[in-house]
Structure 1
């Protein structure tokens, strides 16, 4: 080989290597764009059975309803319970939270759960002393039975303390769970369904 042709051989080889590298890069890039996304397996959260308290059909007491919820850990369980109460009962019981009432915030300290609801807790509430009792104790009892370190609830509306929901139950202090408001007759009827004759 002549020295002049060697002088062009090295740059020509470098140019060919550069072209091959660019071709390989483009081919890899196109393959990534056209390949289907890899399936990411998401493990479902384990389930946990909780007891929720809803109003009996006659509106004279609370009735327990068992439900499975995602077990997102102790910190999130109370919030999940309140959301489930807001979704209403699965059976023929009556909701204790009015439609549109949303939990805006949750905190707990020294056995007291502070529940901050949207204004619909008051504005959409049907009123009446028994209805108000069932709302307050449906919340308190559902939390106390499932989260043993919670003994009382404080209810806020739009971040503010309220005296009552509709003029009947004093909410100026935290309210302790009280299972005297359960309706044993309704619970027995729910536990033993009637057969059609």
Structure 2
């Protein structure tokens, strides 16, 4: 029978050995983990965007272009509807909306080089009185479509499916080509200060 003190020593040593082994396994695991090359998580690329050109009006009733960031889309009709939805949502800056209040987009169809845009009845019933206001409302749509979709050269506007719709001053029976003469004229460039400087003026009879 082994001495009592030796058995006591063994009972104290064994837990320490087990604990040391546990720590050794943990440390080795962490070491291996730190040495492993971690795969780089894939970077999510932002969805493609493009800038659409929308036509609103200024205080004088002239058409003015406003850029709008748009999400990428596929299909001419789908993209055209998205652009027109933005137009119908109104401007984000200081410009005014050219469309009559309550006008809604009913549908869009592309036939060859022509876009057919169907509008709600509010487009005719809520139109601001005056030929200039009607022109601005009509060509805010026509110009927006043709500028953003170069393959489209003309736009047919229907009202609730009516292909022979007539406003108070405009006949919408025929397709319309864009009219950029309705846009606001660009501001004149500032004069060159040097050109009007007194020292550059030719003064006859002086030395």
Alpha-carbon distance change, 47 to 129 in structure 1, aligned in 2, over 3 angstroms: same
* Cα deviations by residue, 1:9-53 (Å, 9 ceiling, x for unpaired): xxxxxxxxxxxxxxxxxxxxxxxxxxxxxxxxx987422101111
Which protein has greater RCO, CA pairs closer than 8 Å, 6+ apart? Answer: 1
What residue ranges of structure 2 are gaps of 5+ in the alignment? 1-43, 189-207
8 A Cα contact 1:57 1:92, kept in partner: no
What SS does the aligned partner of 1:54 have?
A: strand
Shift of 1:104: 0.9
So what's the TM-score if we normalise by structure 2? Answer: 0.64
Deviates more, 1:140-149 or 1:68-77: 68-77
Larger radius of gyration: 2
Computed over aligned residues only, the root mean square deviation of the Cα atoms, in angstroms, reads 1.9
Deviates more, 1:67-76 or 1:48-57: 67-76
* Cα deviations by residue, 1:108-167 (Å, 9 ceiling, x for unpaired): 1121110111111112221310011011111111111111011111111111124422x2
What residue ranges of structure 1 are gaps of 5+ in the alignment? 1-41, 190-197
Matched, 1:182 2:166: no
8 A Cα contact 1:155 1:162, kept in partner: no
What SS does the aligned partner of 2:141 have?
A: helix
Counterparts of 1:102 and 1:120, CA distance in 2: 8
Tell me the equivalent position of 1:152.
154
Matched, 1:136 2:138: yes
Tell me the equivalent position of 2:112.
110
Tell me the equivalent position of 1:68.
69
Counterparts of 1:184 and 1:51, CA distance in 2: 17
* Cα deviations by residue, 1:54-112 (Å, 9 ceiling, x for unpaired): 111111x2000011012212422211111111111111111111222111111011211
Tell me the equivalent position of 2:23.
none
Alpha-carbon distance change, 44 to 103 in structure 1, aligned in 2, over 3 angstroms: farther
8 A Cα contact 1:86 1:99, kept in partner: no
Counterparts of 1:179 and 1:116, CA distance in 2: 22
Alpha-carbon distance change, 133 to 45 in structure 1, aligned in 2, over 3 angstroms: same
Tell me the equivalent position of 1:168.
169
So what's the TM-score if we normalise by structure 1? Answer: 0.68
What SS does the aligned partner of 2:88 have?
A: helix
